[in-house]
Structure formats: structure tokens, C-alpha cells
Amino acid sequence: MCQKQLENLAAVVEKFGSAPTIADMPRRTLADKGINGPTAAHVIEEVHSPYNLAYLTFTTGSSAFQNIVGVTFEELPDRKRATQKALEMANISRGAHALVTYAPLVNVYSAQALHEYGMTWSFLLRSSRDALIVALCRDKPKVLIGESGFLKVALEDVANLGLAEAMPRDCIVLCSGTPLDLDIIPLAQKYGWQIHDLYGCQEFGWIALDGRPLRDDISLVPSPLGDDYKELVLGGLPLADSFIIGAGGHECNSSGQILTYRRKRTHPEYEVLITATTFSDPTIIEKAARSILRIKSRVVKVHPHIKCNAEATEMQLVTNMALTERDAKPAATITGPQKTRLFDSLVEAQIAFQKAGKTDPTWVKKS
């Protein structure tokens, strides 16, 4: 009798059930994310990605160890608007095709944003300069996306190999991933290429093109590096990057004021204190600070005397040293709703997560 009951239960488990089998689980592949191109810096690993994230990506590792980054659904609309603005400012037409030299860069746009702009893209056969030169000479792309140092050395190789005549002309180049190497500009001019400096990061998407902001929740605040530099703050969250603000304009556009190619890492880095919230209970802010903001590698703390039911979020930027000084004044105060929009969208993601109960019964701790 016991064996028959077991067999009946096993049959039910195999054929029915609210929880999925591994074969039933939805899959988000490299192709789904639009990053199915080769790189020499990664292995391909399947992971269980939380359903509350739009996708996972990693920092490029240009200045530190590569860290995992989670992108929420709630922040995608601003990312898409910034991407569209960048493409329009660079005079890239809808429906254009781009050659992307480093596949993970697509995550900063998000494949969804490029699809909505009508763009298509392809990758190199191998992540090497020789493969780039072959693709340039054979396919003659009109749009090129890649890191400026890599592109610059490839252009030098083209001249040494005697392939200049086979190169495409009038290409629009979006240099991104690392600070713009200015030496690429005269090399590219030989082919009539338009060089653009696209600044951003995996954590928050694109922020500036040729020194011009792509979002309206950007603030420039005093930097610990001195009066010549300003710290860039996005949606209330400091990026740990400081820039010269140049009256003479950006090398790629005279109207651009943020000299993104003259970036310096801010030291000491700012931390964020939330001093006011629109919520009646600060618990939601505390949870967001402890969880979702950590996937952005940002330290956010809740002021012990936070003001609730405020008209807008208020955030103070302080240094680690200032935190130990009772009467220390903040370096800057960021007040919403516009200037704190990114932070507020991440709090919205935290709220959405809390409203959606866990769907995996194995995590239910109480009967």
C-alpha cells in the first residue's frame, strides 16, 4: 500500500506541479542579452538569475577587479532614453547596423534599448586586433563600437600592413569602456571617421556623450580632489569619478563641458546618507540600502534621524572621514524628485520585490 502511494505521488510530481523542473525553467542566453560574441576575458557560465533582475552583467575591470552587477527592470526606461539620446546625438540612424568589438558593452545600452531603436549588431570572429582589421576591411561597417585604445592600435596596424585603401570611410565610432585615448582622433580622421566619447558604466548605463549629459538626473558636486574637479553624481548616487569641467569644450564637441577623457578616481570616495524619504516607514529605505544598492557597489546608509513623509528624497554626500566627525558638514545635498530619480527607481524595485512572494516552495520556512 505504501509503495503504491509513493508511486502515485511520484507520478503527480513528474507530470504536474506549480514548481518547475529544470527543463521548464526560462532561460536567458547570451543571444537573448545580445552579447553572444567572443571575449578573451570570460568563460560562459550558466547561473540561476533572480527573477527580479532584468539581467546580470559585470564591470569591465578597467580599474579594479570585475564585479557582478544586477540591472533591475525599474531602471531600464531611463537607460533606454539615455541610449536613444546618445545614438541620436551621434547621428546614428534608426535601423543601422553596428560592429561591436567587445560583446559585454551591449549590456550598458541593453539589447532591449538597441532593439527599440531598430538597430542590429554583430561581433568579431575572435577578440583580436587582426579579427577587427579583417571585419573592417571586408564588411566596411558604418557604425563601430569599442574601446578607444584597442581601436587606435588596430588603426596603427592597418597602416603598417598596407591595408589603408581597404578601410571603410565615414564610419561613426562610439568609443566606450575606458577613457578616450585622444591619439585615436587624428588616426581616424584619415578615413573620415567621426569619433565620439561615450561615458558610462555597467552599473548605471550611459551618462554622457562627448561631454554632454544624457540624463537629467545628473549632478556635479565639489570633488575631494580639489577645485578643478567635480564629482559626477547620477540620481543621487556618486560614481567615484571626478572630471575637469572645461570651458574650452570637449575634444569631440566644443559644446561638451564634462571632459570625460580626463577622469580621475575620486579619493576619498563619497558615501551617501539618506536624510529624508517620502515613505512613512524608513524600513523600505534600509532594506534597499542593504540589498539592492549593493549590486551597484554603492554604500548607502540611512540617517538615524531620517525625516519621513517628506515631499522628496534627500541625500547627503559625505566622506568616510566626515562620518567620524559629529559636526562635519556634507559635501553636497541632493534633493529629489528629479535629481534622485535613479535612487528612487531602485527603491521601487525593492518594493516590487517585497510585494511579489517567493515562488519557490523550498524557501517557505513556515507551513
Residue 364 or residue 35, greater confidence: 35
CA max distance for the chain: 87
Above 60 in pLDDT, residue 217?
yes
pLDDT score, position 242: 95
Q: What is the DSSP letter of 253?
A: B
Cβ distance 103 to 35 under 8 Å?
yes
Instruction: Report which residue type is found at 196.
Output: H
Please, which pLDDT band fits residue 59 given cuts at 50, 70 and 90?
A: confident
Coil, helix or strand at residue 42: coil
Phi, psi of 100 (to 5 degrees): -105, 125
Task: Give exposure, 152-186, as e/b (b: 16+ Cβ within 10 Å).
Answer: bbbbeebeeeeeeeebbeebbbbbbbbbbbeebbe
Burial class (CB in 10 A: 0-12, 13-18, 19+), 12: exposed
Whether 174 has a pLDDT exceeding 90, the answer reads yes
Buried b (16+ CB within 10 A) or exposed e, 67-96: eebbbbebbbebbbbbbbbbbeebebeeeb
Question: What average pLDDT score do residues 177-188 get?
Answer: 96
> Quick one: pLDDT at residue 358?
62
Domains along the chain with CATH numbers: 29-215 (3.40.50.12780), 270-355 (no CATH)
Instruction: For the beta carbon of residue 249, count every other beta carbon within 10 angstroms.
Output: 14
pLDDT in tens, 242-264: 999 987 899 999 999 999 999 99
Cell numbers 521548464 correspond to what residue? 24
Round to whole Å and give the CA distance between 141 and 148: 16
**Does the pTM of the predicted model rise above 0.85?**
yes
pLDDT > 80? residue 321: no
Show Cβ contacts of residue 210 under 8 Å, excluding neighbours closer than 6 positions: 89, 196, 197, 250, 252, 253, 256
Instruction: Report the alpha-carbon angle 102-108-110, nearest 5.
Output: 105
Read off the pLDDT of residues 327-343 as tens digits, 9 standing for 90 and up: 568 889 999 999 999 99
Dihedral (C-alpha) 305, 311, 312, 316: value to the nearest 10 degrees?
Answer: -30
